[in-house]
Amino acid sequence: MKHSEIVGKMSLEQKATFVSGYDYWHLEEAPELGLPKICITDGPHGLRKAKGKDYVPEEGEAKSSGGIGLGNSVPTTCFPPAATSSCSWDDDLLFEEGAAMGEECLKEKVSVILGPGTNIKRAPTCGRNFEYFSEDPLLAGKCSAAIINGVQSKGVGTSLKHFACNSQEAFRMVLNEVIDERTMREIYFPAFEIAVKEAQPWTVMNSYNRINGVYASQNEWMQQQVLRKEWGFKGLIVTDWGASVDRVDGVKAGTDLEMPTSGKLNAKKIVAAVNDGTLEESILDERVDAVVDLILKSKPALEKTHTYDKKAHHKIAQKIAEGSMVLLKNDDSILPLQAGQKVAVIGEMAKAPRFQGAGSSVINPTMLSNAYDELVELGVDVTYAQGYYKSAGTKKEQKTRMTEAQLTAEAVNAAKNADVAIVFAGLTEDFEGEGYDRETINMPPNHNKLISDVAAANPNTVVVLAGGSVVLMPWLSEVKGLLNSGLGGQAGGAAVANILTGKVNPSGKTSETYPVSFEANPTFGNYPGGPVTSEHKESVYIGYRYYDSANEDVVFPFGYGLSYTTFEYSDIKLSADSIKDTDTLTVSFKVKNTGSVAGAEIAQVYVADKESTIFRPAKELKGYKKVFLNAGEEKEVSVELSKRAFAFYNVKIGDWCVESGDFDIMVAASSRDVKLTATVNVEAPACEIPNYHTTAPAYYNDVKNITRDDFAAVYGELPNPQIDTSKRIDKYSCLNDARHTKWGGRLCRLISKVMSGMGSAENGDGKMLAAMATQIPVRNFVQMSMGAFSEYQAEGLLMMLNDDQSSFIGFSKIFWTLGGTLARLPKLLSAI
């Protein structure tokens, strides 16, 4: 039966129901039409499927609670999160990861895994940076496409997310991202564009935020014009969980599926809109057709029984970790460790690793390695000192614990009696997580002190750094070695041990820049935006595009990483000295392993416009290749550059445009280590090019000091960034919007206090829940509560937030709301 025939057999009421989920993780079914109930659930670096009440645990596994909480999931392979895997710069490796995740989805009867997370790392403090690939759109897009192709090669779908401009966690459900179109097109859209054009994900998930005043789930220009018409997306558009705002407008704007279910709430509104003529039924049919298509694509995989080899997938996770970890410092060739050395292993994370992020992506791993045990297994002569406690612990635990001074003394003593001291340190669960942004880029103070104390006791100190975001390293000059293990997934411990001992030669390179200070990053003072707007006044100057253009010193540049061998670049050649903008340019060069061990080098190709009318970054990544070479081996590498490698987005003509002239082609080992350079002249048709030299001069010559006036000259009239306290709080507002009211302030303080004490390994110290609780729009209390929070209660909550106590009904609603809000928040939050 054709899709149109299936849709044609549905009643209006059934169609309205079909464009919303059945529950939190399943779509509606119609067995009489051949449409089974399918499951779509979290990724993105492994499968997080809630166990459910009927789940049968394996031997030694905890019994299911039957809830939807983050920790109640089926054991699956935890692969390294995107912040780490992107440092591999290895499309083949990420394809292999995707294929393995697809196999696990098949085994668990999951039709779509929600990922990959592809948003650009605008600032180093985004709480969800561990879940995203890079500050660079080309690298992010290629990584994303590789994983999507891997998953979908198994007959399972993906959900490319979060489309778009979702670069902060604070106020993400109400925030207005104020951003000019050129910046969107050049920085925040290309990763999604690459993924769509090269991989065609089955679904795209829209983001919570507004873009220039329009919620993503209702942004017709973004979803219909850009995503579907320009990029040729063929699949289904689904809301992030709770991102549906006004559902009828969402249907008109191209959002096919609302998740999770809103029950009968929005279905009734859709039926009413069709009946009164405000929504054409043909548009609703298009949305239903997309849902039907997704279900039918899922059927073949659901009709078979699948399994996978857990040990084999663990090995794949290990291979990804080994190819992604970055050796950042190696003075005096302190690494790899030599046979017979006495090694002091210091830091609790050596035995209890931080291997993934916190929030909706938390995986319940099938097994978990740690570096200490793996080093012992490899025969290294190790002693251990805990050094610190990862978490505060319970009051009972605190009474029996060693003091910080005692822990440090023990660590220093171990270091003094060793040939090499290795300190495992970094960001714990308390420091980064979904739902809130970091306030600084500092590491835990006790970790910094421990490293310095150990380094003072033993000059041969190496740090193994864990975490999903960049950090400041005040001790860097005091240590000889630094290995960034990132978040290594469940096999990260084995990967660390293999790299430290030289069993594996490190080959990862940074996928984001490490600034010299928090204040040095281009969004400082402007990020996170909120509570109403986030102004992208830095424009295209994100990450290395900013640091290189501003000549700003950095600790580690974008694309940087060391190896246990050395590489030499030579013989750059261009396929032509002069081309038209419609031509393809081939860049070729040679890379040779000049060391004594096999290794891999990541060769990067950057392009720079030598003279331009519009402001442009000093250089931009336009291609890369990871080259594996035996000792003494040399290979020729080629990279093709199309028009887009030389173009900028011209808002005057609404298209990509090349300005005729000379362009430098730079082959580099990092954005700051250019090895070879050649020049090509590109000829393009003349067109009107925006010139901001007089209206926004800082974009050309002072990118460290871009003003709001400069931004306004590029963007246009800027919206008011402040909360309008004269307006009534409505269903689109969050609790934080009412902090200035008597009851709003009290409720925010109460919820924050309650939630901040609900920490766990899944959500850190509770900051995630506290932030989310006060930043969720009132509409979501109703839409996502599965009937547990009614519109009646929402009316009472709004009356309370507006200090409106004018009637007996109001008092009644407020009374019921006080209890209802606090009692149901944990369940509601665990689903977002």
Q: For the segment 69-90, what is each residue's pLDDT rounded down to a tens digit?
A: 566 889 999 999 999 999 999 9
Residue with structure tokens 């407008």? 249
pLDDT for residue 790: 79
Cβ atoms of 542 and 661 closer than 8 Å: no
> From the candidates 42, 90, 91, 240, which is the catalytic residue?
240
Residue 458's identity, in one-letter code, is: N
Percent of the chain scoring above 90 in pLDDT: 79
Three-class secondary structure assignment of 7-37: HHCCCHHHHHHHCEECCCCEECCEHHHCECC
Q: Please say if the pLDDT value at position 301 is more than 80.
A: yes
Distance CA 830, CA 832 (A): 6
- Just give the CATH number of 9-42+89-302: 3.20.20.300
Mean pLDDT for the stretch of residues 699-719: 96
Three-class secondary structure assignment of 701-747: HCHHHCCHHHHHHHHCCCCCCCCCCCCCCCCCCEHHHHCCCHHHHHH
Taking all residues of the chain, what is their mean pLDDT, rounded to a whole number? Answer: 92
Taking only the tens place, the pLDDT of each residue in 650-704 is 999 999 999 999 999 999 999 999 999 999 999 999 999 999 999 999 999 999 9
The encoded tokens of residue 645 equal: 């490698």
Residue with structure tokens 């080959």? 507
Cβ atoms of 491 and 321 closer than 8 Å: yes
Q: Which residues pair with 650 in a beta bridge?
A: 655
pLDDT for residue 807: 41
Of 337, 514, 359, 348, the closest CA to residue 421 belongs to 337
The distance from CA 494 to its chain's CA centroid, rounded to whole angstroms, is 25
CATH class, domain 565-690, is mainly beta
Q: Determine whether 240 is an active site residue.
A: yes
Mean pLDDT for the stretch of residues 585-595: 98
Q: Please say if the pLDDT value at position 788 is more than 80.
A: no
Sheet with 567-574: strands ordered across:
567-574, 585-593, 634-641
pLDDT for residue 75: 96
Mean pLDDT for the stretch of residues 190-203: 98
The encoded tokens of residue 307 equal: 């399994």
Pairing state of beta strands 533-535 and 567-574? unpaired
Q: How many CA atoms lie within 13 A of 515 on its CB side?
A: 26
Mean pLDDT for the stretch of residues 185-206: 98
748 pLDDT tier (thresholds 50, 70, 90)? confident
CA-to-CA separations, 790 to 115, 499, 779, in angstroms, rounded? 31, 55, 10
pLDDT for residue 59: 66
CA-to-CA separations, 262 to 21, 38, 733, 773, in angstroms, rounded? 8, 17, 18, 19
Lowest mean pLDDT among 75-84, 279-288, 798-807: 798-807
Residue with structure tokens 């990724």? 43
Of 539, 492, 471, the closest CA to residue 710 belongs to 539
Distance CA 87, CA 80 (A): 10
- Just give the CATH number of 319-510: 3.40.50.1700
pLDDT for residue 93: 98
Q: Please say if the pLDDT value at position 832 is more than 50.
A: no
pLDDT for residue 819: 52
The encoded tokens of residue 788 equal: 């547990």
Mean pLDDT for the stretch of residues 370-388: 98
Distance CA 541, CA 376 (A): 46
The structural domains of the chain, with segments of one domain joined by +, span 9-42+89-302, 319-510, 513-557+693-721, 565-690, 735-829
Task: Calculate the dihedral angle through the C-alpha atoms of 523, 488, 187, 229, rounding to the nearest 10 degrees.
Answer: -140
CA-to-CA separations, 425 to 180, 514, 562, in angstroms, rounded? 40, 17, 20
pLDDT for residue 831: 47
